[in-house]
Structure 1
């Protein structure tokens, strides 16, 4: 019986994502044994330092470098990431397969609704995008930096006496913590990180057998959507720590609609835009919209904040 080794981070969410990804594959390919292997990342070992410092030590991404290295060495056959955590460029020799569907892409306030937050509310999040978007809507809010997995950040509501924390609805749904959601945040004001809610299924380019098996559960529409979002991010030379939000949807007529937003860290400047076009050209749509955002002032916002933002 062939065995496929499936790498992921160690968190409960990462393990749940692997379980959900493998469930249909185990049904389709009972002759294959799928075994999960946990790989610790720099961001998992060090949960107190700035992510920029963690990334500098790892020589890459705080949440993907070790897994990608294991995949390149052949220690695992596939890695299941949260796509929003992955840099837009694959290391040489690796590629992404179409994701198997997508969870809810929205962010959520946990502990309160937006309207229910008191003046000067302390809201926990370590994401530059979320901080910027919150301040654009509620400049009175006091962002409180927090890190950790989903249960840890929910616990900090109590232990740090926060009024709310911001988390991805996808992670809460996957962990069965819908009860923690105070309010999903509207996409027109709070577009998510590119790729949010989707899995990043990463394999070796030359491993055709694995590619053929895992591609059978890929969702082509979701693949085009996340490719458009990540193309926009790549053209803006941004990463998961810059305040860029993007959300692509496939319309009933088969076209692809992409909405994006760039916000200054203090929330005072914001550039938004959208584009609709052929779903067969997601990268071009992402690049076109990035160009429009730059023309409207997005580059000045990003260049002004990048030195102060974790990479």
Structure 2
């Protein structure tokens, strides 16, 4: 039976239900997945699910770390309340396995991975006055910002992108700028808010270039389903972007072996080289960026897990485990 017929039989008289977070960005991503699934002739329904991270304004480590982004959606998927789940891969925990009987059937083609500065008055990061407050809840961003601009202060800022931008623009508000993901702003049609795009290639402080290496899974939407749901898994396989899926496997293999948690400043970014091999950069920082280790390796794109393991082993040999353990306190 071809995939269209299998799906028509599977969803005869009922829509395919897509579970997602309730934020504007998450709903936009889910609608994109719905449009792709619709090309198979399947009617879809987006099911918003309120997750712990949307209800909590404090430190995520106090509510289970990155699992706060996913556990309610996972529960709905396992329980059959939704048929697929849409996630930003960067928000999927690296130290917690996926629920038994589920897997990512598709990774959509990776989008832009750059972090950007959105400043109150259009001032680039290098010119923001010392002592100014920068809004970011990411430990990875804070650590790297401290390398280049240790004279700036940071404060976590949570909520939807729209609400964060509103706080930035508040009259007499505390923030001089925010660090955000370029991909998210693009998905929301807010790219015109960007003041400065930060390079992803690592630079030391003395080079005079402010850079921020991306997190594992940056710019990638993953679609998760029950492995026993054969028609859905077949469909997702057709939506999958193989090169992106390979890059994610390398990055997440590295993250898993590092045993990183939500308070671990870890960066990891895989790409395909001009000659067709796979390249993986990995970095681990302490909280203020004063100490870090970095590694790079190139390997066979047919074996991304081994490449991830090699980079993780090198980072651990350089002391990454000590840096990660220190951030657990």
TM-score w.r.t. the length of structure 1 is 0.93
SS at match of 2:64: helix
Aligned partner of 1:301 in structure 2 is 323
Aligned partner of 2:282 in structure 1 is 260
1:12 aligned residue (19, 24, 27):
24
2:36 aligned residue (12, 24, 27):
24
1:173 aligned residue (156, 173, 186):
186
State whether structure 2 residue 169 is matched by structure 1 residue 163. no
> How far apart in 2 are the matches of 1:142 and 1:92?
42
Aligned partner of 2:61 in structure 1 is 52
Alignment of 1:209-220 (within 5 A): 209-220=231-242
Alignment of 1:1-311 (within 5 A): 2=11, 3-27=15-39, 29-30=40-41, 32-46=42-56, 48-55=57-64, 61-88=67-94, 89-111=97-119, 112-159=123-170, 160-189=173-202, 190-307=212-329
The gaps in structure 1 that reach 5 residues or longer are none
> How far apart in 1 are the matches of 2:91 and 2:261?
9
Tell me by how many angstroms 1:240 deviates: 4.1
SS at match of 1:61: helix
Deviation string, structure 1 residues 121-178 (Cα, Å, up to 9, x no partner): 2100111111101001111110112111111111221233311111111101100110
> How far apart in 1 are the matches of 2:47 and 2:133?
38
Q: 2:118, 2:179 within 8 Å by CA — same for their partners in 1? A: yes
SS at match of 2:297: strand
SS at match of 1:104: coil
Tell me by how many angstroms 1:213 deviates: 1.3
Deviation string, structure 1 residues 221-255 (Cα, Å, up to 9, x no partner): 00001111111111110034310011100122221
Aligned partner of 2:4 in structure 1 is none
SS at match of 2:103: strand
> How far apart in 2 are the matches of 1:76 and 1:195?
23
Q: 2:34, 2:46 within 8 Å by CA — same for their partners in 1? A: no
SS at match of 1:227: helix
Q: 1:258, 1:274 within 8 Å by CA — same for their partners in 2? A: yes
TM-score w.r.t. the length of structure 2 is 0.88
Q: 2:215, 2:266 within 8 Å by CA — same for their partners in 1? A: yes
Alpha-carbon RMSD across the aligned residues, in angstroms, is 1.4
Give the structure with higher Rg (CA).
2
> How far apart in 2 are the matches of 1:90 and 1:273?
27
Tell me by how many angstroms 1:22 deviates: 2.4
> How far apart in 1 are the matches of 2:128 and 2:167?
17
> How far apart in 2 are the matches of 1:183 and 1:66?
35
